[in-house]
Amino acid sequence: MTTFVTTIILLAAILMIASIFLQPSKGDGFVGGGGSSQAMGASGGASFMFKVTMWCALIIMAGSLYLSWHNIQATKSSVLDTMTEVGEPQAPANSSPVTEQSAEPEASQTAPAAPASAPQNMAPSAPKK
């Protein structure tokens, strides 16, 4: 449906450009003439071309409003849809599936060295002079 409406808007825009160029102006106009020697006459042609321009503008505006509304309806979502309930655990953003590791460590893997433990109740000594 959006392709159809877009095509109608494009055709209406082309027709509107043509009708604007063909309208007689106060001077000679874009195409020339503007006098009663034209096929529709000076006033009859102006009112017809004005109506064509007006209808093309209305078609373009209505089609654009429809496409905008259709896009909003197609992507309608709320911030509340993405929120979790209180107390519900949240999964990490970049979680990857856990793979099983073999029970025996590889030869290149070594256990990290244990940190040297210092006595917990020992106070720092005074600096030597």
pLDDT in tens, 27-44: 655 565 545 445 555 555
pLDDT of residue 118: 56
What are the pLDDT digits (tens) for 96-109? 666 655 555 555 56
CA distance 34 to 94: 70
pLDDT of residue 24: 73
pLDDT of residue 98: 60
What are the pLDDT digits (tens) for 107-129? 556 666 666 665 566 666 667 76
* Average pLDDT for the chain: 74
Cα distances (angstroms) measured from residue 44 to each of 12, 50, 55: 22, 10, 17
Model pTM greater than 0.75? no
Two tokens, residue 91: 């999964």
CA distance 127 to 124: 9
Percent of the chain whose predicted confidence (pLDDT) is above 70: 50
